[in-house]
Amino acid sequence: MGPVTATSPTPGFSIREATIDDVDDLLRLVRELAAYEREPESATATPEHFREALFPSDGSPAAYAHVAEGDGRVVGMAIWFVSFSTWTGRHGIWLEDLFVEPEQRGRGIGKAFLVRLAQLCLERGWTRFEWWVLDWNTPSIEFYRSQGAVAQEEWTTFRVDGDALERLARS
């Protein structure tokens, strides 16, 4: 996958696969996203965590990342992993995080990320491209809907972490 040059009204950025040299920028953007989502204390990943997950010395990555470069630096990221649908028997992409620096929004970077990941799905014969968005994040919800995404409102997300995860594992 080579860089994708945007066809936005204000070109001047590219989307490319992240490299190990992008880890610090990815972490910076994850922390900015956590602050935007009102949970800055929850972003506890370290550079080592990201290097292990995205660029392991042994085996396949657990996750993948693309970055947007503009103005000579990384200004956005999309972190994703391969999902699987038992109904279709095919893989897909689960978009874990998509973030573009606030001052870079409106240039088409978010759409360029979605386009590139949709292209990956089709190139690989995968059937789904999914993600979640916080209920209060109206600008993102409107943006995703404008791209043809449909909310799966009949589903409820569950999570077990922290002490609850430890209790469950011990039971």
Q: What is the mean pLDDT of each run of 10 residues along the chain (171 residues)?
A: 42 94 98 96 97 97 97 96 97 98 95 97 97 94 95 92 95 96
pLDDT of residue 27: 98
Single-letter residue type at 91: H
How far is the first Cα of the chain from the last one, in angstroms, to the nearest whole number? 45
Picking from 77, 90, 96, 147, the residue whose alpha carbon sits closest to that of residue 124 is 90
121 burial (CB, 10 Å; 0-12 / 13-18 / 19+) is middle
Residue 8's SS3 state is: coil
Q: What is the pTM of this model?
A: 0.89
Q: pLDDT tens across 141-163, in order?
A: 999 999 999 999 999 889 999 99
pLDDT of residue 1: 38
The residue annotated as part of the active site, out of 13, 50, 80, 144, is 144
Instruction: State yes or no: is 64 an active-site residue.
Output: no
